[in-house]
Structure 1
Amino acid sequence: MNAAQLLPVFVVGLAGSIHCAGMCGGIVTAMSTTAKPRVPASTVIPITSARASVLPHILSYNAGRIGSYMMAGALAGGLAGGARNMAAVAGVQLSFYWLANAMLVALGLYLMNAWRGLAVLEQGGRVLWRRIAPAMKPLMPADTAPKSLALGALWGWLPCGMVYSALTTAMLSGSAADGAAMMLAFGLGTLPMLTGLGLLGARLQHAMQRRPVRIACGLLVLAFGVIGLARAAGGVTPEWMNMLCLTPHP
């Protein structure tokens, strides 16, 4: 897998990170105010100044979060790749391909608040989250880099429709290493937003939740999915389209 194949995954992470502003914004901004009284993780605290001492905590949190994404991607790519090799049926690959691009379409609509179907998947994932969440309590407040790293590693398993969409794509990578690489690219795409939230707080969060921003980002992700579906149907075949498809064609 080369960098050109990972670029679209990075772009989807970048565009989809407006969803992170709602899901992770509270805990990241709270991390920047550990000297203040403790507040619930869902509370958004405005950050009036970017202190250099805050940055290691924010980066440690994101390193843990992206590490969990990579672990999930390795599991998805390895298990799905092994099952696909054992089946040796082209139809299985094609079905995965359709599913992965349909998930991108669903994500684009989700980001635009046009369709909330992925919220159903997030509800399903809460069964796992209820078992993980209690381990977070000793880590709050995340006032050291190691605690921030551990908190991010746990938070990476939070039920999230956007992550599920990326993992569906990672399933098509064919190996654990490629699945991890795809989720690394995706995680790095979300990094600017979550780093910015830690430094700028509610100001950036409110800006990213504006409807025009959500629609623009949703349309971008939706376009990736539509192109992939058209390619699967045989309607889009030029080679240059490969750079616009997240999933390798079966």
Structure 2
Amino acid sequence: MKSPKRQKKPRSPMQNLDIVSAFLMGLAGSGHCLAMCGGLAGAMGLHQSPARLLLYNCGRILSYMLAGAIVAGAILAVVQIHQQAMLVVRLGAGIMMILFALYLTRVWMLLTFLERGGAVLWRYLQPLTRHFPPNAAAPKLLIAGMLWGWLPCGLVYSALSWAALSGHPGYGALTMLAFGLGTLPSMLIFGMFSRTLGAFVRSQGFRWVAGGALFIYGVMTCWVALKQW
């Protein structure tokens, strides 16, 4: 006798909101992206056509998606053992967003601690970038972008906490895709018109507006998690 097929659980409205939140986090964190990777993006823009610059950034987003799938898969394994763990993850995601808001506005730079941890992996990956120069063929350019995606970054780590909420590796990858798309406009435009955009998104006003919005949403997320406890 055949066992009935397990139906795929539909995404909840909260999970859909998490994807939107990841996109907005990438968009709001544009100034931080340019501070971390702006020099690299600007240098790339001097040597690349828009299509090649897009390919390079696609490699970066692919790495984000891979990381999102890994994190979501790990959390899924934990939740299958203890259902209450997802509320802990949601609370943690809210705290991470608050910490990133404080980091973005330079009120409290605690996330630099996580970046120092990520630098351990980057130490092994960075030497590989020498094999994939900006003038490399398209496949190597994509790989170069994928290596760039593992650059230690508090913003990426904050977004990964939202990917962890997705409950499935595929949705974790989708969440990080949304985040990557949020960062894409600034990185593409900066690669071609670095000075004008860079002055705006790195300005104190932009950082405080973006950081304030992320802080409020982080507090709301923590409140929802605590109410469901």
Q: 1:42-65, CA deviations, whole angstroms, 9 ceiling, x for partnerless residues?
A: xxxxxxxxxxx6101210111000
Alignment of 1:1-250 (within 5 A): 1=11, 4-5=16-17, 6-34=19-47, 54-85=49-80, 87-90=81-84, 92-142=85-135, 144-234=137-227
Question: Is the 1:111–1:218 contact (alpha carbons within 8 Å) kept by the matching residues of 2?
Answer: yes
Q: 1:97-121, CA deviations, whole angstroms, 9 ceiling, x for partnerless residues?
A: 1111100000111111111000111
**SS in structure 2 opposite 1:32?**
helix
Change (3 A) 1:162 1:142: farther
- Provide the identity percentage: 40
Structure number having the greater helix percentage: 2
Consecutive unaligned residues in structure 2, runs of 5 or more: 1-10
CA shift, 1:96, in A, is: 1.3
Rounded Cα–Cα distance in structure 1 between residues aligned with 2:65 and 2:200? 29
Q: Which amino acid aligns with 2:30?
A: S
Q: Which amino acid aligns with 1:26?
A: G
Rounded Cα–Cα distance in structure 1 between residues aligned with 2:38 and 2:136? 17
Q: 1:164-216, CA deviations, whole angstroms, 9 ceiling, x for partnerless residues?
A: 01111111211100100100011111111101111101321122111011111
Consecutive unaligned residues in structure 1, runs of 5 or more: 35-52, 235-248
- The normalised TM-score by structure 1 is 0.81
Q: 1:7-58, CA deviations, whole angstroms, 9 ceiling, x for partnerless residues?
A: 2221111101211011111111111223xxxxxxxxxxxxxxxxxx610121
